[in-house]
A and B are shown apart, each in its own frame.
Chain A
Amino acid sequence: RKEVEQDPGPFNVPEGATVAFNCTYSNSASQSFFWYRQDCRKEPKLLMSVYSSGNEDGRFTAQLNRASQYISLLIRDSKLSDSATYLCVVNRDDKIIFGKGTRLHILP
């Protein structure tokens, strides 16, 4: 089983729709969790950290379920500029594991 698994994608959704990304991780000792976005041929950019209580930043909501080893990201009212690859990232003992990413295309 891969250490961090994400939906393979791509997701093609119309502008304004709500999009949900899922991620599972295999090592229960994982300590911190993040969502990054990556535009084509660019560096990953931090979108948000993920906390057990859940957290929200504008149109973005992240959830963590430690018992199920599951992380999610919800984007509401999607914009064309949200088109990117979304990366689930897990940190354990200073070893950082990226998921393969889920590509999102927002359609006008």
Chain B
Amino acid sequence: EPEVTQTPSHQVTQMGQEVILRCVPISNHLYFYWYRQILGQKVEFLVSFYNNEISEKSEIFDDQFSVERPDGSNFTLKIRSTKLEDSAMYFCASSLRDTYEQYFGPGTRLTVT
């Protein structure tokens, strides 16, 4: 069964450093998403991406964040200058259509020290 994959599973970085989180969505899916979940809190929408551009983003997704689909398979989330409060689990998801079911990757745990 096709699945969304994410790397790395755990990333530790120092405050102020840039990080890139990587995702490989399901191959025939067209819509891609990033979410975050701070420990003990709810899953929060960050951004959706379709046709090589951002289609929707939340208030959390400020200028420190960017997304890219550098080739036909990868979808990345970059945080330019990490803060302590960026420590969270980051999930990538993909779907065939914008209102269809989304399938989530296993997540990257980001720890900012």
A residues whose Cβ falls under 8 Å from a Cβ of B:
31-32, 34, 38, 41-46, 49, 87, 91, 93-101
| Given A43-B106, A97-B45: A34 in contact with B98 (beta carbons within 8 A) | no
Give chain B nearest CB distance to A60 CB in angstroms.
15
Verify if B52 is at the interface (C-beta below 8 Å from A): no
Interchain residue pairs with CB less than 8 A apart (23): A31-B99, A34-B102, A38-B43, A42-B106, A42-B107, A43-B104, A44-B43, A45-B104, A46-B101, A49-B101, A87-B42, A87-B43, A91-B99, A93-B56, A94-B48, A94-B55, A95-B45, A95-B56, A96-B33, A98-B35, A98-B42, A98-B43, A99-B42
B residues whose Cβ falls under 8 Å from a Cβ of A:
31, 33, 35, 41-45, 48, 50, 55-56, 58, 89, 91, 98-107
Do residues B42 and A95 form an inter-chain contact, with CB atoms below 8 A? no
Contacts of B106 in A (CB 8 A): 42-43
